Amino acid sequence: MDIDLARAWAQAMAAAVEVHKDHLTQLDSAIGDADHGVNMHRGFSAVLSALAGLRPDTVGDVLDTTGLTFVSSVGGASGPLYGGAFRAMGAVLDTALADPGRFAVALAAGLASIRKLGAATPGDKTMIDAFAPAVTAFGQQADGGGDFATAALAAADAAEEGMRATVLMRARKGRASYLGARSVGHQDPGATSTALVFRALADTAVAR
């Protein structure tokens, strides 16, 4: 991961959210408050503006600006959760170039931030159910000497598998938990946007 790839990742996330905005809102209207697509779109639009004026020295500068912008522009839970995760990753990546092993450490820091702030755990039917398997898959590839694109592809596949698994889960956190058993049968919107985040990373890494 270098500065150009971090920028390209942010642009790819923004593009993916633009395409899937209505789908995210549709998922959130089933078990939440129907604002996830709008929130994510607002956040990434603001991120693109913020990054356009940034002269980053490190990968961390890009991710920290992404996170700060998310926190300040997005209401609801997704602003602080995603924003905090990007900032936690940025703190690890205070370098112009990060190998897959270091990026794996950054992803783990992002996950830890989400778990702490959301007080959620795998199986609660949240973004963690996509994020955690993605972090594990990336780390396994990095440990095995896989290159960045290979690790990012494994992470994206794992995130999507985790996203699909949320359909059968009963929500234990957030607004969806008020629905109890009626939350079963619906895919979690946060896990769905997390899968977009990791697919954007894979697409970006493969494209270079």
Q: What's the CA gap between 207 and 143, in Å, rounded?
A: 23
Q: Which is nearer to Mg ion, 40 or 51 (CB)?
A: 40
Q: How many chain residues are in contact with Mg ion, going by CB under 5 A?
A: 5
Q: What's the CA gap between 16 and 98, in Å, rounded?
A: 24
The nearest distance, CB 118 to Mg ion, in angstroms, is 13
In the complex, which residue's CB is closest to Mg ion? 32
Closest CA to 206 of 161, 156, 152: 152
Handedness of CA 120, 189, 159, 108 (dihedral sign): negative
Q: Which is nearer to Mg ion, 100 or 189 (CB)?
A: 189
The CA-based dihedral angle spanning residues 151, 166, 120, 108, taken in that order and rounded to the nearest 10 degrees: 0
The nearest distance, CB 101 to Mg ion, in angstroms, is 35
* Cβ neighbourhood burial of 180 (10 Å; 0-12, 13-18, 19+): exposed
The nearest distance, CB 202 to Mg ion, in angstroms, is 26
Residue 120 token pair: 């959620």
Q: What's the CA gap between 195 and 208, in Å, rounded?
A: 20
**CB atoms inside a 10 Å sphere around CB 205:** 24
Q: Rule CB under 5 A: is residue 160 a binding residue for Mg ion? A: no
The nearest distance, CB 22 to Mg ion, in angstroms, is 14
The nearest distance, CB 32 to Mg ion, in angstroms, is 4
Site for Mg ion in 27-46 (CB under 5 A): 28, 32-33, 35-36
Stretch that binds Mg ion, among 25-33, 80-88, 94-102, 135-143 (CB under 5 A): 25-33
Q: Which is nearer to Mg ion, 36 or 173 (CB)?
A: 36
- Residues at the contact surface with Mg ion, assessed by CB under 5 A: 28, 32-33, 35-36
